[in-house]
Structure 1
Amino acid sequence: MAFSFFGRRILSKRTFFPNSVRNNGYIVLVPEIGEDLPEKNPLVQNDGLPEFNNITIENCMAAVAKQTLDFEAGVQNIENSLEEKGTDNIFNDVFRVLEEMGAPLDMTWGLSKTLYLGNSILMPTKSYLAIHDRAKKARATKFNSLFIYENVKNELQKTNSNYSDEEKRVLKKFALEGKLNGLELSDSKKVEMRQCLNKLAAERTQFKQKVDICTKQFSHNLHDNVVVRDFPLELLRSIASNPTKPLQGPWKITLQPNVYMPVMEHCPDREVRWNIWQALVNRGSGYGDRDLATGIHLEEIRYARRDLAKLLGFETYADLSMETKMAGSIDNVNKMLTTLLERAKPAQDRELQSLYEFAVERGFQGGRIELWDVPYWRRKQQRSLFDYKEEDFKEYFPLPKVLEGLFHLCERLFNIVIKQRNNISTWHKDVKFYDIFEQHSSAPVAGFYIDPYARSDEKIRVQQSNGWMVGIQNQSRITETKPLAALVFNFEPPTGDKKSHLTFREVKYLFHKFGLALQHLLTRTNYSEVSGSSNIEWDAVEVSGHVLSHWLYNKEIIDSISCHCDSEDKLPSQMFASLMEAYKHLAGIDLSRELYLAALDLELHHSKDYWLDVVKKLWPEFRSFPLDKQDSHPCSFTQIFTEEWAAAYYSHIWSRMIAADVYSAFHEVQGDEQKILDVGKRFRDTFLALGGSSHPNRIFRRFRGRDPSPKALLSSLGLKKLPVEK
């Protein structure tokens, strides 16, 4: 019996198509036998790049159908060989064969994903989901092979082996995946595991469906022009009954992320803010429609995960989760949370008092600042204290200039050359392709596409995401394949002579995604199994992205990417200072919230206490706001109950902590160009080159010479330790 449980940690690290604004339609099955294909892959040109101009749904589906069958048959052949004669060289007889069989399938899968995100007319949702599910199922067979698993365990038990660190990571990856997929269980226990997984899948589906219904059902209509007087024009267009006349009402407020937060930031009517806020936190509570309550599903998901962990030999699901994390143990995570909270909680109290005094001076009459007040008064205070207006910064960041500065920074730090190559087959005329060269090298070592602009009729827009980094092809010396990636964004397109301009938030997003791309593109591993982000522990996978985005708080880098749309001036020093202050503004409130959610997630997957009791226990430890009686936020906490962040939500903070510590190595030598370049080389040789071929703890120690510390993150947020009063 084959299972695919934690194998998805490697095969699909991100759920990147939930809540699409398009109608997903129905899912079609990929045919088990594809149409006859020529020996040469019809999806790839002679130079090894995809033939995007001629790729169709039909040849993608035909290719993946044939390649999945070939891969599954190949795994069966490996099993037959191992059963008959065993192996004296597992890397030659097993892993080399798996690499060679998997490369074409991985390429087709990556191309299909890129097309789906870049042009959903060429690759509709229903077609991509069918390809994705079929490819994922086929690739999981190598982790569900008992013969491969037993041979891997035998190799790991040998004391006289001469395996490299990378080869040991490959072996350990297969051993861990096999264990977490239940290969050590008896037949009866495997049946229990299958029942548990089926139960878990059903409950997660119910949870998600009910939260989605609650989200879509709520709306609040505004008719008063005074209430919307400060709303940005883009927001008014998205909520107006007639988008062509955004200044005329009525306006419909929903809980969609692109509507909810901007409204909370700009709406002066406190009752309206409260109504929207309570609708958000009450989703799944059952206070309105009991049929949409998710509390029972929440507890059933916890029970099923606990049972699953017990079957696999772990005390709790949180303990099981730590097997695939850099942190390594619940104690290590809790120490990190406690250390950060020691600074964040007092800062939260000071910030709330300051925000309250500021609001009272401007007519606020509430007894205290509540959660639904913070976004509105935060924006007001930022403008008052720092003269910070987010829309003003957009005039300074034309996309071509931002890309030029970004590429120059990476070329300088990592000793590479990035060159655009023209006349390349792409899925849209806006898409550009770039080669990456080593200095003084004539042959490229990697390549990437950038598809920057939103296209409402073609591109999928997913909630809470403005773009993606897709690894189309992994680095592998075994198959002699070079890394290939695609960066797909939804930035504002140029109009007429006006270039595309980015908000600072979008600039940061671009830097972050490019940092992730660099880890994929500059990896130098032998095996694709541990190439780039493959096999990187979940709480470390975002580190390279965060490191690159840290450079945006360096004035030299801001100068290199800024150019006013009219005057062509660099971003003024005063505006840069404003940007720095805005970044730290209410950092204590923000960090305390993230720490609370991380602790809540971990406790829900570690203890047996009822979910509401867990909330009542943790809330006062982390939050300085009273807990509203009807606040049922765990009942809509989809990240941990329907997505892949169960007992892993802390990873967001952990990766930021690691990245801040890594960036501080650059900051410590600022002003000395040679030392900066030395740190850049060290970063490239460790985090970028090694990818998943070494444990992130070892990589960090090689880079920093010590274990990680939260000091750099706290310092970057301005959360300094206050002097002790005598």
Structure 2
Amino acid sequence: MNKPENNPLVENYDLPQFSKIAAEHIKPAVDYTLSEARKKLSQVENSEEISWQSLIEPLSEIGQMVDKVWSPVSHLNSVRNSQDLRVAYQENLGDIVQFSLEMSQSSKIFKALEKLSRSDMCSSFDGAQKRILENFISSAKLSGVGLEGENKEEFNRLAKDLSELETSFSNNVLDATKEFQLLIDNKSYVDSMPQSFLALASQTYEQKYQGKEKKSSTPEDGPWLVTLDAPSFIPFMESCPERQLREKVYKAYITRASSGSFNNEENICKILQYRKRQAELLGYKNYAHVSLARKMAPSVESVYQLETDLLEPSFQAAKKEFSDLNSFAKSQGFKNTHLSQWDTSYWAKKQKEHLFDYTEDQLKPYFSLSNVLKGLFDLSKDIFGIKIVEDDTRIDKWHEDVRFFKIFDEQNQHIASFYLDPFSRPENKRGGAWMGECIVRQKRSDATVDKPVAYLVCNFTPPLGSTPSLLTFRDVETLFHEFGHGLQHMLTKVDYPEASGINGVEWDAVELPSQFMENWCYHEKTFFGFAKHYETQETLDKKTYQKLGDSRKYLAGSSMLRQIQFGLIDMELHDQFDPTGSVSVFEKQLEVVKRTSVLNPLEEDRFICGFSHIFAGGYAAGYYSYKWAEVLSADAFSLFEEVGLENKDELKKIGHLFKDTVLSLGGGEHPMTVFERFRGRPPKVDALLKSYGLSV
């Protein structure tokens, strides 16, 4: 097959040419690349030599070939989604999955891998090489290399179907989120709502009806358009005084993608059924056990034990928090007996303002994106010794808002780069925030090193008119969180792509660097480095900073309880639930919520129809990872607290140790070994409970 001409996906490039990639480029590029990859795969299979150079290196090269084409396509499907791109993505996804299965299920390669693992040569491998070899063998087993005949055919058919179902799930969430809109043209309905929200709702209306025969909107007089996109949904639920409107929007959110043409119910049932069947074909009890086979947690039972240990203290704390919130609401004129789900955010915001004497809208002018980035970069220089410089000259982007940065080490050597896509675009960008891999670090045979490049993607409120992007403090934490993921990808010192950055890291340890970085938002020097008014550059007063720190534990029990609820829903659906049984997924969801919520659950709640983490995002039977890794991250940060958060020299010393272990070693060593090298001992849960204000 000839190489396609004028196709940006197969041209030699340092960075993807996003603006040139069109839907019609995808199939020719995929077909050509898979054809070339199969030739190389055949050469590996037919080689009689058994060595790292003849086996692992060419397999790695094949994987990189395919990733170079498919990775930018997958990325664009998330950040520049369109109907033609979506169709092309889905049409080629099956071929990508099929080739992945061919590689993983090659009996010749599997036998060669096992032979290499038993050879004398293996004893000379470094720790990362041994881990990579073990992971190749483990992945092959979990991909069905041991299956034959009808079982193998069924497994592969299920794998292809699952990839399509998960993509369909994600598309339905995106489309259902876009579909809902609430038009408000009565000024009394938005009375007392913050100006920042009104400006966004007005701008959303203008963008929606631009060029159409509709009256124009202003923040002061409307009309205003409310959507289910996070920058709109969250402040609306927190500040809309009209209870009936809050109920309408809340119920629309928890029933997203649960009816009509974007209904995910069938997708969920099939995904659970197919995962369970695949697990059975592999000889496992269910998918939860498959998931745990490659994680840090030793067993499904250990996950339940962690959730149980945290459930009781968080539930008791949440009960008191809700009782106090209910009493506060009544003291402020709330007439009903109990708060409902659509009331809690509204009254919690008011109670928080009452207790701590500040509002989010008062704080946002002090958290401009540009100032927060500067504070984050200054912190990174102080504790990790890296310099971050914006440099987007000649950088091709997928949107004009995207920015590009380079990272330099203490010798001023360029070591990594990252894209930042900060703003919400509900028309074609999926919600949430994430770090993705653009280029993975690896050392080539000629001793040159591919420098890692990351995608950092968020959904912050964009600039409104002449006002720059202003963040909530939760947005600030999100930015620090995703940057933590990026640091692990970009500061790795591992030269093998299968173990550099987050690759090869057990999934339940991946959140350690990200959650660790969130703690620095409250670090006094860091905070005052970015908390400057966007117009005057006046620094936020220290009294408000102290109140912000005090408010960190506000509703902490409820926050932890919610995460435990998500983790248990995920684990029980993949461990205890029978997708072909008489109990529906919604009944199972309801049963878990009853055990893990202080509010009576709503019968119509269909939250899981939008639970992309576990049905389209790689966290299946793994959502518990957030809490598992939070134990590690809290304990890791406590070492900085022990040496003194104002002790610059000690912070730098411990920061470099964190960089040289957690951020550098990637998947080259087991995460428990890495943690103990940093902390000097196994992790303890005490620091996590203390950070939530719960009893140790």
What TM-score range do you get, normalising by the shorter chain?
0.7 to 0.9
Query: How does 1:287-366 map onto structure 2 within 5 Å?
Result: 298-366=268-336
What SS is found at the alignment partner of 1:469?
Answer: strand
Match for residue 149 of structure 1? 110
Match for residue 475 of structure 1? 441
Aligned residue among 593, 612, 619 for 1:619:
593
Aligned residue among 342, 357, 365 for 1:395:
365
Match for residue 519 of structure 1? 488
Distance in 2, Cα, partners of 1:218 & 1:49: 36
Paired residue type of 2:690: S
Residues 1:221 and 1:553: Cα distance change in structure 2 (over 3 Å): same
Contact 1:34–1:65, Cα closer than 8 Å, also in 2: no
Match for residue 593 of structure 1? 562
Aligned residue among 163, 179, 182 for 2:144:
182
Contact 2:390–2:404, Cα closer than 8 Å, also in 1: yes
- Shift in Å at residue 642 of structure 1? 4.8
Match for residue 132 of structure 2? 170
Match for residue 651 of structure 1? 625
- Shift in Å at residue 546 of structure 1? 1.8
Distance in 1, Cα, partners of 2:558 & 2:228: 22
What SS is found at the alignment partner of 1:461?
Answer: coil
Structure 1: runs of 5+ lacking an equivalent: 1-31, 722-726
The answer to whether residue 680 in structure 2 is matched with residue 702 in structure 1 is: no
- Shift in Å at residue 96 of structure 1? 1.7
The answer to whether residue 194 in structure 2 is matched with residue 226 in structure 1 is: no
Distance in 2, Cα, partners of 1:208 & 1:433: 27
Paired residue type of 2:681: R
What SS is found at the alignment partner of 2:498?
Answer: helix
Greater Cα offset, 307-316 or 647-656: 647-656
Deviations 1:532-567 (A, max 9, x none): 112222222232122222200111101112222233
Greater Cα offset, 614-623 or 696-705: 614-623
Residues 1:426 and 1:184: Cα distance change in structure 2 (over 3 Å): same
- Shift in Å at residue 379 of structure 1? 0.9
What SS is found at the alignment partner of 1:487?
Answer: strand
Match for residue 23 of structure 1? none
Instruction: Output the TM-score relative to the length of structure 1.
Output: 0.82
Residues 1:124 and 1:304: Cα distance change in structure 2 (over 3 Å): closer
Distance in 1, Cα, partners of 2:227 & 2:119: 60
Deviations 1:595-627 (A, max 9, x none): 112112211221146346644653343211123
Match for residue 10 of structure 1? none
Deviations 1:662-716 (A, max 9, x none): 2222122123333222221221111111112222222222222233233222222
- Shift in Å at residue 377 of structure 1? 0.4
- Shift in Å at residue 306 of structure 1? 2.3
Count of aligned pairs between the two proteins: 674
Distance in 1, Cα, partners of 2:247 & 2:405: 48
The answer to whether residue 229 in structure 2 is matched with residue 267 in structure 1 is: no
Contact 1:662–1:704, Cα closer than 8 Å, also in 2: yes
What SS is found at the alignment partner of 2:406?
Answer: strand
Paired residue type of 2:692: L
- Shift in Å at residue 523 of structure 1? 0.8
Contact 2:166–2:616, Cα closer than 8 Å, also in 1: yes
Paired residue type of 2:438: I
The answer to whether residue 553 in structure 2 is matched with residue 578 in structure 1 is: no
Aligned residue among 508, 522, 527 for 1:539:
508
Residues 1:579 and 1:243: Cα distance change in structure 2 (over 3 Å): farther
Residues 1:518 and 1:243: Cα distance change in structure 2 (over 3 Å): farther
Contact 2:4–2:28, Cα closer than 8 Å, also in 1: yes
Contact 2:231–2:424, Cα closer than 8 Å, also in 1: no
Contact 1:309–1:320, Cα closer than 8 Å, also in 2: yes
Contact 2:432–2:458, Cα closer than 8 Å, also in 1: no
Match for residue 668 of structure 1? 642
Contact 1:42–1:51, Cα closer than 8 Å, also in 2: no
Match for residue 210 of structure 2? none
Match for residue 50 of structure 2? 88
Distance in 2, Cα, partners of 1:56 & 1:208: 21
Aligned residue among 433, 436, 459 for 2:407:
436
Distance in 2, Cα, partners of 1:213 & 1:58: 23
Aligned residue among 697, 706, 711 for 2:686:
711
Distance in 1, Cα, partners of 2:454 & 2:551: 33
The answer to whether residue 331 in structure 2 is matched with residue 367 in structure 1 is: no
Match for residue 652 of structure 2? 677
Match for residue 462 of structure 1? 430
Distance in 2, Cα, partners of 1:339 & 1:541: 22
- Shift in Å at residue 34 of structure 1? 3.2
Greater Cα offset, 633-642 or 555-564: 633-642
Contact 1:336–1:710, Cα closer than 8 Å, also in 2: no
Contact 1:75–1:141, Cα closer than 8 Å, also in 2: no
What SS is found at the alignment partner of 1:324?
Answer: coil
Contact 2:257–2:609, Cα closer than 8 Å, also in 1: yes
Greater Cα offset, 187-196 or 162-171: 187-196
Distance in 1, Cα, partners of 2:164 & 2:92: 22
Residues 1:642 and 1:473: Cα distance change in structure 2 (over 3 Å): closer
Contact 1:524–1:531, Cα closer than 8 Å, also in 2: yes
Paired residue type of 1:176: S
- Shift in Å at residue 78 of structure 1? 0.5
Paired residue type of 1:439: E
Query: How does 1:489-500 map onto structure 2 within 5 Å?
Result: 489=458, 500=469
- Shift in Å at residue 475 of structure 1? 1.0
Distance in 2, Cα, partners of 1:689 & 1:127: 37
Paired residue type of 2:311: L
Distance in 1, Cα, partners of 2:550 & 2:456: 30
RMSD: 3.8
- Shift in Å at residue 252 of structure 1? 5.9
What SS is found at the alignment partner of 2:341?
Answer: coil
Match for residue 98 of structure 1? 59
Match for residue 76 of structure 1? 42
Distance in 2, Cα, partners of 1:496 & 1:42: 39
Distance in 1, Cα, partners of 2:133 & 2:92: 28
What SS is found at the alignment partner of 2:296?
Answer: coil
Distance in 1, Cα, partners of 2:535 & 2:172: 49
Contact 1:113–1:470, Cα closer than 8 Å, also in 2: no
Deviations 1:273-317 (A, max 9, x none): 33443444456778xx8x998666645543333222111111121
Distance in 2, Cα, partners of 1:119 & 1:299: 29
Residues 1:125 and 1:317: Cα distance change in structure 2 (over 3 Å): closer
Deviations 1:115-158 (A, max 9, x none): 6777779x955566667776665555432322222222233345
Residues 1:692 and 1:337: Cα distance change in structure 2 (over 3 Å): same
Distance in 2, Cα, partners of 1:613 & 1:119: 36
What SS is found at the alignment partner of 1:647?
Answer: coil
- Shift in Å at residue 387 of structure 1? 1.9
- Shift in Å at residue 170 of structure 1? 0.9
- Shift in Å at residue 476 of structure 1? 0.9
Paired residue type of 2:682: D
What SS is found at the alignment partner of 2:188?
Answer: coil
Distance in 2, Cα, partners of 1:118 & 1:255: 17
Distance in 2, Cα, partners of 1:299 & 1:108: 32
Distance in 2, Cα, partners of 1:116 & 1:632: 25
Greater Cα offset, 148-157 or 194-203: 194-203
What SS is found at the alignment partner of 2:667?
Answer: coil
Distance in 1, Cα, partners of 2:362 & 2:255: 35
Distance in 2, Cα, partners of 1:119 & 1:292: 20
- Shift in Å at residue 572 of structure 1? 1.3
Residues 1:702 and 1:73: Cα distance change in structure 2 (over 3 Å): same
